[in-house]
Amino acid sequence: MRILIIHNYHRTGSASGDDQVFRKEVELLKKHGHQVCTYTVSNDEFDKQNIFGKLKLTLGMLWSMKHYRNVKRIIERKKPDIVHIHTFFPLLSPSILYAAHQKRVKVVATLHDTRFICPCATSLRNGEICNECGDGHYLRMARYKCFKDSKIQSFIVAIIFKIHRILKSFYKKIDSYICLNDNQIELLKNIGFDENKIYKKYNFIPDVNEAMEQIDDCKLPERYVVYFGRIGEEKGIRTLMRIWDALPQIPLVVMGGGPLEENFEKWAKKHKQVYYLGYTPHDKCMGIVKNAEFVVFPSIWYEGCSMVQIEAESSGKAIIATDLGFSTESIQNGYNGYRVKLGDIEGFVNCIQAMWDNPENCQQMGENAREDYLNKYLPEDNYIRLMYIYDKTLSSQ
């Protein structure tokens, strides 16, 4: 099969989940002998612009003639059987959907976030879950400065999404949607998306046990809990700090970078039980995870199919996470971890303390987590599901 896969990278060096999924799916498809060509851009391009350039690129979210033409040329030259789109905001724009549609090539889109419900993609407003814009009245974004805390940019993005809502770009120009969990599916169905075009497929990772660095010289305590991932608002970093304010006796190791890392580092220096390692190379990170008691993941937004959670399970580690999004179906309380209500600091503290005080139970849940990974998130199983979705899309009217 000939497949054109399109993606808007976050930034150079980003460990973002959708960037990882894009790379891994390209590798997987090539491994199985498919002819894969890719078309990508990076948000680095946006960062390099002055204020006028950034404004131009923001307006380009409505329609990028450059990427429209480029995608049409690639389709004409490569003649793909199907176009698979991952992230296409902000730089690629919905114009690439129209390019594929004009060339009569079927389009599959993986929805890594809630962008079609919330133009900011996070479903967060002031740290709280918000899906109000699912009704299509996007101008409220300007009132709340939802996009980059700017009324002007929020207004521009609201107008862009309103236009594409009227044109039904996301409803008519995509032939199949790949959702990562049941919550995403319900959110789409609630705003009128055709459930017959929606498929669920989890993300996958290769077994991390096969590429894990042994940690011998790391000056960490013998026992510790670990958080690894983006140091950002949506990942519940402020929640994590509040949790460990109440757990002075339990060591916490944190790995990752992001917009809140400066604030987090200052906080960590005041807590002797917190070890902040910053960005950590993947194999070393997984080695540290492997030696942990369990993983804590207090995300406050709708995780699609968290790569952190899958990697934790592959490492044989139980997870304590917020009962939201992907976690609602990936974690069985008392089996492979615990789910805690959003914002329930005391609930997190109690679960963490209980796990810490019962190492044998913790180990058993880690073994269960490992079994869950083997049952759900292996590359070959994922390949079979992906090909099923492609075949159903190509055979649809």
Domain that holds residue 61: 2-204+379-395
Q: Which residues contact 333 (CB under 8 A, 6 or more apart)?
A: 339
Structure tokens at 60: 């380009």
Backbone angles phi, psi at 115, to 5 degrees: -55, -35
Count structural domains, the chain.
Answer: 2
Cα 95 from Cα 48, distance rounded (Å): 23
Identify whether residues 163 and 268 lie together within a single domain: no
The structure tokens listed for 354 are 């209980």
pLDDT at residue number 47: 83
Same domain, 266 and 367: yes
Domain co-membership, 320 together with 237: yes
- Specify the CATH number for the domain of residue 353: 3.40.50.2000
> Do 185 and 124 fall into the same domain?
yes
pLDDT per position as a tens digit, 332-355: 999 999 999 999 999 999 999 999
Residue type, 166: I
- Whole-angstrom distance between the N-terminal and C-terminal Cα of the chain? 19
Residues 226, 174: Cα–Cα separation, whole Å: 39
CB 147 within 8 A of CB 157: yes
Helix 261-269 and helix 237-245: axis angle, to 10°? Answer: 10
Q: Is 249 exposed, middle or buried (0-12, 13-18, 19+ CB in 10 A)?
A: exposed
Q: Specify the pairing of strand 124-125 against strand 128-129.
A: antiparallel
Q: Which residue has the tokens 């390209």?
A: 26
pLDDT digits (tens, 9 = 90+) for 119-147: 999 999 988 999 999 999 999 999 999 99
pTM of the predicted protein model? 0.94
Contact 83, 107 (CB under 8 A): yes
Question: What are the tens digits of pLDDT across the range 230-252?
Answer: 999 999 999 999 999 999 999 99
